[in-house]
Amino acid sequence: TDNMVGYAMSNHLVNKVVVGADRIVQDGVINKIGTYVIAVLARVHDIPFYVAAPKSTCDLDRKSEEAAIEERSPEEVTHFGGQRTTPKGICVLNPAFDITPMKYVKAIVCEDGALSPSEVENST
Protein backbone atom coordinates (compact mmCIF):
# COMPACT_ATOMS: atom_id res chain seq x y z
CA THR A 1 0.00 0.00 0.00
CA ASP A 2 0.99 3.66 -0.22
CA ASN A 3 1.94 3.82 3.44
CA MET A 4 4.33 0.88 3.48
CA VAL A 5 7.07 2.65 1.54
CA GLY A 6 9.10 3.50 4.64
CA TYR A 7 8.75 -0.05 5.95
CA ALA A 8 9.85 -1.57 2.65
CA MET A 9 12.83 0.76 2.31
CA SER A 10 14.00 0.41 5.91
CA ASN A 11 13.85 -3.38 5.59
CA HIS A 12 15.96 -3.38 2.42
CA LEU A 13 13.11 -4.59 0.23
CA VAL A 14 13.71 -1.80 -2.32
CA ASN A 15 16.94 -1.21 -4.25
CA LYS A 16 15.72 1.54 -6.59
CA VAL A 17 12.65 3.69 -7.17
CA VAL A 18 11.24 4.49 -10.60
CA VAL A 19 8.30 6.90 -10.92
CA GLY A 20 6.64 8.64 -13.83
CA ALA A 21 6.13 12.35 -14.32
CA ASP A 22 3.25 14.49 -15.46
CA ARG A 23 5.65 17.38 -16.08
CA ILE A 24 9.36 18.01 -15.56
CA VAL A 25 10.32 21.63 -14.93
CA GLN A 26 13.70 23.29 -14.25
CA ASP A 27 13.75 22.59 -10.55
CA GLY A 28 11.47 19.64 -10.04
CA VAL A 29 9.21 16.83 -11.11
CA ILE A 30 5.46 17.25 -10.96
CA ASN A 31 3.73 13.93 -10.42
CA LYS A 32 0.92 12.30 -8.48
CA ILE A 33 0.65 13.17 -4.81
CA GLY A 34 2.99 11.10 -2.69
CA THR A 35 5.91 11.12 -5.12
CA TYR A 36 7.81 13.74 -3.10
CA VAL A 37 7.54 11.67 0.10
CA ILE A 38 8.85 8.60 -1.70
CA ALA A 39 11.82 10.60 -3.02
CA VAL A 40 12.68 11.90 0.46
CA LEU A 41 12.49 8.40 1.94
CA ALA A 42 14.64 7.05 -0.88
CA ARG A 43 17.30 9.66 -0.07
CA VAL A 44 17.19 8.81 3.65
CA HIS A 45 17.76 5.14 2.82
CA ASP A 46 20.38 5.74 0.07
CA ILE A 47 18.11 4.31 -2.62
CA PRO A 48 18.44 5.82 -6.12
CA PHE A 49 15.32 7.66 -7.29
CA TYR A 50 14.66 7.70 -11.05
CA VAL A 51 12.01 9.43 -13.13
CA ALA A 52 10.88 7.68 -16.32
CA ALA A 53 9.22 10.05 -18.77
CA PRO A 54 9.37 11.04 -22.43
CA LYS A 55 11.25 14.22 -23.29
CA SER A 56 7.91 15.73 -24.33
CA THR A 57 7.13 15.86 -20.59
CA CYS A 58 9.94 18.39 -20.06
CA ASP A 59 9.04 22.05 -19.77
CA LEU A 60 12.41 23.39 -18.75
CA ASP A 61 11.51 27.02 -19.42
CA ARG A 62 9.33 26.90 -16.30
CA LYS A 63 9.98 26.55 -12.58
CA SER A 64 7.89 24.63 -10.07
CA GLU A 65 6.52 27.81 -8.50
CA GLU A 66 4.73 28.50 -11.80
CA ALA A 67 2.85 25.20 -11.68
CA ALA A 68 -0.82 25.20 -10.78
CA ILE A 69 -1.42 22.17 -8.58
CA GLU A 70 -4.91 20.75 -9.09
CA GLU A 71 -7.00 20.56 -5.94
CA ARG A 72 -9.33 17.57 -6.05
CA SER A 73 -12.89 17.59 -4.75
CA PRO A 74 -13.20 17.51 -0.93
CA GLU A 75 -15.92 14.87 -1.36
CA GLU A 76 -13.22 12.37 -2.36
CA VAL A 77 -12.13 12.52 1.29
CA THR A 78 -15.33 13.34 3.14
CA HIS A 79 -17.67 10.88 1.42
CA PHE A 80 -17.77 7.19 0.57
CA GLY A 81 -20.43 5.63 -1.62
CA GLY A 82 -22.25 8.94 -1.75
CA GLN A 83 -22.51 9.13 2.05
CA ARG A 84 -20.70 11.63 4.26
CA THR A 85 -18.18 9.88 6.50
CA THR A 86 -16.73 12.96 8.21
CA PRO A 87 -18.20 15.76 10.34
CA LYS A 88 -19.61 18.73 8.43
CA GLY A 89 -17.45 21.81 8.29
CA ILE A 90 -14.03 20.18 8.27
CA CYS A 91 -11.34 21.70 6.07
CA VAL A 92 -10.01 19.32 3.42
CA LEU A 93 -6.72 19.63 1.58
CA ASN A 94 -6.75 17.26 -1.39
CA PRO A 95 -4.04 18.09 -3.96
CA ALA A 96 -3.72 15.73 -6.91
CA PHE A 97 0.00 16.37 -7.48
CA ASP A 98 3.16 17.33 -5.63
CA ILE A 99 6.55 18.60 -6.72
CA THR A 100 9.73 16.63 -6.09
CA PRO A 101 12.82 18.86 -6.09
CA MET A 102 15.50 17.82 -8.59
CA LYS A 103 18.03 17.30 -5.80
CA TYR A 104 16.32 13.96 -5.09
CA VAL A 105 16.44 12.74 -8.72
CA LYS A 106 19.41 10.56 -9.68
CA ALA A 107 18.45 10.39 -13.35
CA ILE A 108 15.62 10.94 -15.78
CA VAL A 109 15.07 7.96 -18.05
CA CYS A 110 13.86 9.08 -21.47
CA GLU A 111 14.30 8.25 -25.17
CA ASP A 112 17.99 9.21 -24.90
CA GLY A 113 18.69 6.88 -21.96
CA ALA A 114 19.27 7.66 -18.29
CA LEU A 115 20.31 11.32 -18.06
CA SER A 116 21.20 13.43 -15.06
CA PRO A 117 18.85 16.40 -14.57
CA SER A 118 21.51 18.74 -16.03
CA GLU A 119 21.99 16.47 -19.07
CA VAL A 120 18.24 16.56 -19.72
CA GLU A 121 18.34 20.34 -19.69
CA ASN A 122 21.14 20.32 -22.27
CA SER A 123 19.41 17.75 -24.52
CA THR A 124 15.99 19.37 -24.91
Question: Catalytic: which of 22, 27, 59, 61?
Answer: 22
The DSSP result for 58-86, as a single string, is EETTS-GGG--PPBPPTHHHHEETTEE-S
Q: What is the distance between the alpha carbons of residues 102 and 63, in angstroms, rounded to a whole number?
A: 11
The answer to whether 22 is a known catalytic residue is yes
By C-alpha distance, which of 3, 14, 53, 15 is closest to 100?
53
- Residues annotated as catalytic are 22
